[in-house]
């Protein structure tokens, strides 16, 4: 800095962030911080082993300060993300660096989010989608696989907006062929829809291996169910859970805060999967994730769900009819009451022995919910949670209003200064924003006493600007 002192203009810069939404940082009882977007942690379209922190995001640091991101900031994690089919946890340390760890207990700093890595190479893939007949879609045009808006989500819009390579016209619907969004992704790459953060997440007991589906606004398990009860999980290479009644799968998911998919949700999350084929070898592999079909094509949907079609039937929540006009103990015990008639539930996806019958639209409505079958499993989901607007509302002390008698000045090398103003009520809270020469912002919460606020400078080189935010 050329000047030895901070002028009043430098101390209290113009408030250019009044439009920032406020979000309460989970785990912090002393401060609230700004999040312009609920989904501020994103995948990096140019680096499959990196993430991006969106512009306008402010994250708390372990030392009581915080870092503000003035631009979309890519975070390269290639040296840390080395294992396929696993969840990684993201932490920010005291100097604002973001790191990824496999074991959450080994994280250093504040937890900010997580993601899952692809379990096996996707290979070069195309996919098909249904479209309304005579929709005007032609070869060479673009087809949007998931309904992201270009102005709000340009990264996901580009990820799903694919060139049409073939159109098969039909009376009920046209079939559109495009490149698969995950085509070319390698084992260990970050699944784009698996990236979530402390303000956009699946609120479940087990968040492992889940991806977001924009169409349904849900998080869904990447893998078929493994485990039962409180150990119900989505885990790569685990043994699938089968031979259970639909109501038992339902209760398994209820115990971990999830539920079964319904008919429409399954169609959405399975879009992009192998269609009219079964798993290679046409046999039960017993484990989940990473398999290919009879055409050696990876069995993965557009959002990253594994083995939706052609492996196991999957129970849905939909009831489609009933059989047996009498009361009966349908759940095997009757401790929670009996059922008059045995209700039929939808199965989705198709099984390893059905081949050409399998697909994202494949359904079977002939199985009562009390059926026990080694060819039927389940997949869990939960509604997406957002917490962007749960924080305190701030009002800014505007530029050119005096805070001390006479000119405001503070030596660069000073460790603190005192700010007084009649409008600052005793025991209220002020957040102080510091800016250094690299335009990185930090926050520090300070409690007022008798209308005075003591500001302690952080360990930054050349503090060039200070702003204050008062809790309302």
Is there a single domain that holds both residue 249 and residue 364? yes
- Dihedral sign (CA 416, 418, 423, 429): positive
Is there a single domain that holds both residue 97 and residue 112? yes
The domain total for the chain is: 4
The model's pLDDT over 394-453, given as tens digits with 9 standing for 90+, comes to 333 332 233 332 223 445 455 566 666 555 666 656 666 666 656 555 666 666 666 666
Round to whole Å and give the CA distance between 160 and 146: 6
Confidence class for position 125, pLDDT limits 50, 70, 90: very high
Average pLDDT of 203-214?
96
Do the beta carbons of residue 12 and residue 470 sit within 8 Å? no
pLDDT at 329: 75
Do the beta carbons of residue 290 and residue 236 sit within 8 Å? yes
427 Cβ contact list (under 8 Å, min separation 6): 447, 448, 449
Which of 385, 411, 437 represents a domain boundary (last residue)? 385
User: For residue 426, is it within any domain?
Assistant: yes
User: For residue 373, is it within any domain?
Assistant: yes
pLDDT surpassing 50 at residue 193: yes
Which of 337, 365, 385 represents a domain boundary (last residue)? 385
HEC secondary structure over 230-267 = HHCECCCCCECCCCCCHHHHHHHHHHCCCEECCHHHHH
N residues, the chain: 472
> Across the chain, what does the average pLDDT equal?
81
User: For residue 380, is it within any domain?
Assistant: yes
Is there a single domain that holds both residue 108 and residue 154? no
- Dihedral sign (CA 335, 336, 342, 347): negative
User: For residue 193, is it within any domain?
Assistant: no
pLDDT at 283: 95
DSSP letter at 106 equals: G
Assessment of whether the complete model's pTM goes beyond 0.95: no
Is there a single domain that holds both residue 355 and residue 257? yes
User: For residue 246, is it within any domain?
Assistant: yes
Is there a single domain that holds both residue 344 and residue 455? no
User: For residue 423, is it within any domain?
Assistant: yes
Long-range contacts of the stretch 73-76 (C-beta < 8 A, 24+): 74/44, 74/46, 74/47, 74/50, 75/44, 75/50, 75/51, 76/47, 76/49, 76/50
Round to whole Å and give the CA distance between 226 and 235: 7
Is there a single domain that holds both residue 356 and residue 403? no
pLDDT at 81: 97
The model's pLDDT over 250-281, given as tens digits with 9 standing for 90+, comes to 999 999 999 999 999 999 999 999 999 999 99
User: For residue 134, is it within any domain?
Assistant: yes
pLDDT surpassing 70 at residue 238: yes
Is there a single domain that holds both residue 150 and residue 172? yes
The model's pLDDT over 144-184, given as tens digits with 9 standing for 90+, comes to 999 999 999 999 999 999 999 999 999 899 999 999 999 99
Is there a single domain that holds both residue 30 and residue 107? yes
Is there a single domain that holds both residue 244 and residue 152? no
Is there a single domain that holds both residue 233 and residue 380? yes
Higher pLDDT, 395 or 371: 371
Round to whole Å and give the CA distance between 370 and 362: 21
Average pLDDT of 359-382?
95
Round to whole Å and give the CA distance between 31 and 429: 9
Is there a single domain that holds both residue 356 and residue 453? no
113's enclosing H/E stretch is strand 110-116
Domain span holding position 49:
22-121
Is there a single domain that holds both residue 316 and residue 429? no
Higher pLDDT, 124 or 420: 124
The model's pLDDT over 85-114, given as tens digits with 9 standing for 90+, comes to 999 999 999 888 999 999 999 999 999 999
User: For residue 398, is it within any domain?
Assistant: yes
Confidence class for position 338, pLDDT limits 50, 70, 90: confident
pLDDT surpassing 50 at residue 16: no
* Radius of gyration of the chain from its Cα atoms, rounded to whole angstroms: 27
């Amino acid at each position: 800095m050329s000047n030895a002192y901070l002028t009043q203009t430098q101390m209290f810069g113009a408030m250019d962030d009044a439009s920032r939404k406020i979000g309460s940082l989970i785990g912090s009882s002393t401060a609230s911080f700004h999040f312009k977007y609920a989904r501020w942690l994103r995948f990096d379209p140019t680096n499959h082993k990196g993430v991006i922190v969106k512009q306008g995001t402010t994250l708390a640091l372990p030392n009581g300060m915080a870092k503000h991101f003035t631009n979309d900031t890519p975070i390269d994690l290639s040296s840390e993300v080395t294992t396929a089919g696993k969840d990684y946890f993201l932490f920010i340390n005291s100097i604002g660096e973001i790191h990824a760890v496999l074991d959450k207990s080994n994280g250093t700093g504040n937890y900010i989010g997580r993601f899952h890595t692809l379990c096996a190479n996707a290979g070069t893939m195309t996919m098909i989608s249904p479209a309304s007949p005579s929709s005007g879609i032609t070869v060479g045009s673009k087809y949007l696989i998931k309904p992201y808006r270009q102005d709000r989500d340009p990264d996901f819009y580009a990820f799903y907006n694919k060139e049409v390579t073939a159109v098969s016209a039909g009376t009920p619907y046209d079939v559109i062929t495009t490149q698969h969004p995950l085509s070319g992704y390698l084992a260990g790459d970050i699944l784009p829809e698996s990236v979530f953060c402390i303000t956009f997440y699946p609120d479940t007991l087990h968040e492992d291996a889940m991806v977001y589906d924009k169409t349904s606004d849900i998080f869904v398990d990447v893998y078929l169910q493994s485990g039962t009860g409180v150990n119900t999980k989505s885990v790569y290479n685990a043994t699938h859970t089968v031979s259970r009644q639909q109501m038992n799968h339902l209760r398994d998911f209820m115990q971990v805060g999830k539920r079964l998919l319904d008919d429409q949700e399954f169609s959405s999350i399975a879009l992009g999967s192998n269609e009219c084929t079964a798993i290679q070898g046409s046999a039960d592999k017993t484990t989940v994730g990473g398999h290919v079909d009879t055409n050696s094509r990876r069995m993965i949907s557009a959002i990253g769900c594994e083995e939706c079609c052609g492996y196991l039937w999957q129970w849905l929540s939909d009831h489609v009819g009933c059989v047996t006009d009498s009361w009966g103990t349908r759940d095997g015990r009757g401790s929670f009451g009996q059922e008059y008639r045995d209700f039929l539930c939808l199965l989705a996806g198709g099984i390893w022995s059905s081949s050409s019958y399998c697909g994202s639209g494949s359904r079977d409505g002939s199985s009562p919910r009390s059926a026990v079958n080694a060819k039927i499993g389940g997949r869990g989901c939960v509604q997406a949670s957002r917490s962007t607007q749960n924080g305190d509302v701030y009002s800014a002390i505007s530029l050119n209003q005096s805070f001390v008698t006479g000119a405001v000045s503070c030596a660069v090398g000073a460790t603190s200064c005192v700010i007084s103003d009649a409008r600052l009520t005793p025991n209220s809270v002020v957040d102080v924003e510091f800016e250094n020469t690299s335009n990185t912002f930090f926050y520090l919460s300070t409690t007022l006493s008798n209308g005075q606020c003591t500001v302690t400078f952080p360990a930054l080189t050349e503090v060039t600007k200070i702003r204050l935010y008062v809790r309302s």
